[in-house]
Amino acid sequence: MSTVLDPARKRPEFRNIHVTQIVRYRLPPAGIVSILHRVSGALLFLLLPFLVWIFELSLSSELSFARLKDVASHWFVKLVLLAVLWGFLHHLVAGIRYLVLDLHIGIDKAAATKSALAVLAVSLTLTLVAGLRLFGVI
């Protein structure tokens, strides 16, 4: 029994993209969330010694806490802390999305796109609120 392919049927053609085409390539929202989840996880992992040092410095004495408070009042340090906050919040919200997907909830394309957009909206909104609080606006 041999299988004959229908030559009239158009098969999909997949091609690799060139490095110069990366800028124009448009990822779906789920792909963007996936990449940002990896970036935020790497950011948190690489900054873990720094975060532990800050935590230790804040608890060791009143003098070290006052020094940390002075350093953290600088605008550049606040931007770094905001980036760390974004990494934590995005990783948390995207992680919850992936746990729900592991339960086979929302795995069809439309639902996955909606949940990816929801992750971006929620994590950016929470980061905005944290940033406004960090910079003393609210």
Please give the average per-residue pLDDT across 19-47, as a whole number. 91
39-62 tens-digit pLDDT? 999 999 999 998 999 999 899 999
CA distance 101 to 28: 17
CATH hierarchy code of domain 28-134: 1.20.1300.10
User: Given a cut of 60, is residue 134 above it in pLDDT?
Assistant: yes
pTM comes to: 0.79
85-111 tens-digit pLDDT? 999 999 999 999 999 999 999 999 999
Nearest to 47 by CA among 24, 81, 78, 95: 81
CA distance 89 to 58: 22
User: Given a cut of 90, is residue 15 above it in pLDDT?
Assistant: no
Nearest to 108 by CA among 11, 6, 30, 26: 30
Domain parsing of the chain, residue ranges: 28-134
